[in-house]
Amino acid sequence: MLFGQFAFVVITTVHLAIALDIPIGIHLGLFNLTSAYISTDGNPRTLASVPGSLDYQEYMKSLALKDQNHQQTSTTDTSREILFNAIETIRLATSKLLKPSATPKITGITVPDFHQPREDVCNAAGKALPDSYLDYFQILGLTRAMRLAYELNSCENIRLDSKSCDLDNGHYMLFLDLNPHHLQISFAEVGVHTLLIQNRTLSLALGADSKAEGGQQWAEFATKMMKDFISDNLASKSISYKLQGLSSIVIAGEADQLYMKRLRTILEDLLPDHQNLIHDDIAYEWVGAIGAAYLSKLQANQNLHTADGPNWKASGNTLDQLGKEVGHAFVVVGDVIGKGVKDTGLQISDAFKDLEKAITGKNRDGH
């Protein structure tokens, strides 16, 4: 693993090494809160990891239950307070690892895919991080964060032949998130600047609780769930081209290492011809934070934030150019596609509308 064994060493040296202006990403996991950044040499570095409060963990589990049952969730004062406390907790833990004069510039947040609506995260972040100017496009679901963490937007990183590689032509990725509470599988079609989740399923019955008995039974049920998902979404005759176009399999999660190894073994048994596509070099529990760190770095590289707030005119004159420059920061969220803006079901903030007008010269109504 890239970080798991040496995480403590990394954390103890960060205090001396991190610069004042390095953008930081945080992940609000099911149980744990983590932070990371991308160093000047381009490599990800882990920072803090702290458990969420019991209220936070119960809140997250309630969202997962509603997601499994296809129930709507709503923003409440209680949910905003829980999220504010969580963000404040990881901010303070991260601050302790920085130079005394430094303030963490958190400009990327990742959350579980089932965390909807994202409005409460944005509101809580605005209160806990008043200097970061976070907006909706700076909050990603875990599936998209997993792609970012491994930088799966180039032929080299996806492990494709550079001479014949065409990233915009029928590539598919499989994402698995395993923790003590549930197993989630997502299947997405990807391009250089796009990620469209075609199907996602979550099972609370397949949470990998290391304290519970029945590890063999868990493996049998997990195998069946994954086999059915692969058959329904990739391997049936009418869509077998999707299995042929499978370019990456990414694993993340907060489960015990034994269960994570079992999950990989199941994948290898079900997809023996695709074993070399599995990405799990990063310690599983850090994938979300590292994805958030890459999101923060992309925005910093494009000068999307200044001392006076968001720099909405920093990225050129067209959405095409914006997509190429910060494809993962915007397009992977699903908001910007080509020269139009696709509403993903989130309420687009006034700031994003201002950005759209600054780039296209028009509001969404054409004026």
358 or 99: whose pLDDT is higher? Answer: 99
pLDDT band at 335 (very low <50, low <70, confident <90, very high): very low
Residue 348: DSSP 8-state: P
d(CA 316, CA 173): 30
Cα dihedral 311/317/319/322 (nearest 10): -50
Give the model confidence (pLDDT) of 8-50 as tens digits.
Answer: 323 333 443 444 457 899 999 999 999 999 888 888 999 999 9
d(CA 29, CA 27): 6
| Mean pLDDT, residues 325-347 | 30
Give the model confidence (pLDDT) of 228-259 as tens digits.
Answer: 999 998 877 777 778 888 889 999 999 999 99
Residue 351 has pLDDT above 50, yes or no: no
As separate numbers, helices (DSSP H) first and strands (DSSP E) second, the chain gives: 13, 14
Lowest mean pLDDT among 162-176, 203-217, 303-317: 303-317
Contact between 285 and 30 under an 8 Å Cβ cutoff? The reply is: no
Sign, CA torsion 358/337/247/257: positive
Give the pairing type, strands 340-341 and 336-337: antiparallel
Question: 188: closest CA among 237, 238, 145, 236?
Answer: 145
Residue ranges of domains in the chain, CATH in brackets: 23-144+296-305 (3.30.420), 159-279 (3.30.420.40), 316-360 (no CATH)
pLDDT of residue 245: 81
In degrees and rounded to multiples of 5, residue 311 shows phi and psi of -100, 85
pLDDT of residue 73: 84
Give the model confidence (pLDDT) of 142-198 as tens digits.
Answer: 999 999 999 887 777 776 666 777 666 668 899 999 999 999 999 998 876 678 899
